[in-house]
């Protein structure tokens, strides 16, 4: 059985939240991992509305330290602390992250010391490699130190249970030998484990928040199953997007097209498109066909 990657869009707005869209936050869940990417104001309330438990968070990935992406972090950390969070929390972010996290813990006072936290500043390359998944990071082009993240579930070999059933292989320790690709004898018949295996392809999710168009984003997103990207402005405001270090609908779609991703999710929409998100969607689809714009609390699986 393939373990799904679940993505919960807790906040899909940008600098100014609206009644429809909260500040940015995306929760990625895979097996026992629960990875929060950015933590805008109100994120902990979005957890409650989505019936998700913040005490299951294992890692927090910060794209950059502008307020709309991080002002929910002190409150979330306090809630985790008050609810008896007992894991080792890992927080990753660009240059300056260590100092910012210390400032946030100062807000929590002495009790904040009860949390076991590892903070690491990152800029490029593989930052996590745990069993069957890894996380990579690349620097982006914004007006503050900023990074984008890639979450990759590694390619793996699996035993074809349908073939096992057809061959009437009993559930025994010998199945474990078959999984290792070994040849075993069952009922006087030799069975080659390698012939019962099939390849489960790698899966890749990339999250690109505030940035201008850049080749680093294209490289990080190459071949992704899903690219989650900011699209703050319409193509009519491309000059403003460039000036303030953001992607337009078309800019995000160009990254998706050049990187040859399978699907594109747009978020971080400016409040000016509150009533007309289809404008952003239509513009992006002129460049890249497989695009969606989620609402807050939507869930996507792959």
Catalytic residue at 68?
Answer: yes
Tokens at residue 96, please?
A: 């300056």
DSSP string, 254-302: HHHHHHT-S-EEEE-B-GGGSS-HHHHHHHHHTT-SSEE-PPTT-EEE-
| Adjacent-strand bridge partners of 37 | 26, 61
**Any idea which residue has 């484990």 for tokens?**
193
Report which of 268, 266, 252 is spatially closest to residue 217, judged by C-alpha positions: 252
Check residue 225 and give left, alpha or beta (phi > 0: left; psi -120 to 50: alpha): alpha
Beta strands 116-121 and 125-130, pairing class: unpaired
DSSP string, 190-237: EEEGGGGEEEEPPEEEEEE-S----HHHHHHHTT-SEEEEE--B-GGG
Given 68, 160, 201, 242, the catalytic residue: 68
Residues 6+ apart with CB under 8 A from 34: 27, 28, 56, 57, 58, 59
Report which of 262, 14, 263, 290 is spatially closest to residue 142, judged by C-alpha positions: 14
Report which of 176, 166, 109, 122 is spatially closest to residue 148, judged by C-alpha positions: 122
Neighbours of 110 (CB within 10 A): 7
**Any idea which residue has 């009533």 for tokens?**
275
Coil vs helix vs strand at 93: strand
State the catalytic residues: 68
């Amino acid at each position: 059985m393939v373990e799904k990657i679940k993505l919960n869009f807790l906040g899909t707005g940008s600098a100014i939240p609206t009644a429809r869209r909260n500040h940015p936050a995306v929760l990625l869940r895979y097996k026992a991992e629960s990875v929060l990417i950015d933590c805008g104001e109100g994120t902990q309330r979005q957890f409650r509305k989505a019936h998700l438990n913040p005490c299951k968070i294992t890692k927090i990935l910060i794209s950059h330290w502008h307020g709309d992406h991080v002002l929910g972090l002190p409150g979330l950390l306090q809630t985790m602390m008050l609810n008896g969070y007992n894991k080792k929390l890992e927080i990753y972010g660009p240059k300056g992250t260590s100092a910012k996290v210390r400032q946030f813990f100062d807000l929590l006072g002495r009790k904040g010391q009860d949390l076991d936290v590892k903070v690491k500043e990152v800029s490029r390359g593989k930052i996590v490699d745990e069993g069957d998944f890894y996380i990579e990071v690349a620097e982006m082009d914004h007006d503050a130190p900023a990074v984008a993240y890639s979450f990759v579930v590694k390619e793996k070999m699996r035993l074809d249970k349908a073939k096992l059933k057809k061959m009437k292989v009993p559930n025994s320790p010998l199945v474990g030998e078959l999984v290792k690709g070994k040849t075993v004898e069952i009922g006087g018949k030799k069975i080659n484990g390698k012939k019962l295996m099939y390849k489960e392809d790698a899966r890749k999710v990339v999250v690109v928040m505030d940035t201008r168009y850049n080749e680093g984003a294209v490289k990080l997103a190459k071949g992704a199953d899903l690219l989650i990207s900011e699209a703050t402005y319409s193509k009519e405001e491309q000059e403003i997007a460039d000036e303030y270090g953001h992607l337009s609908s078309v800019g995000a779609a160009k990254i998706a097209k050049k990187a040859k991703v399978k699907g594109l999710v747009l978020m971080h929409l400016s409040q000016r498109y509150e009533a007309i998100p289809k404008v952003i969607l239509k513009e992006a689809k002129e460049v890249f066909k497989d695009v969606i714009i989620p609402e807050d609390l939507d869930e996507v699986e792959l």
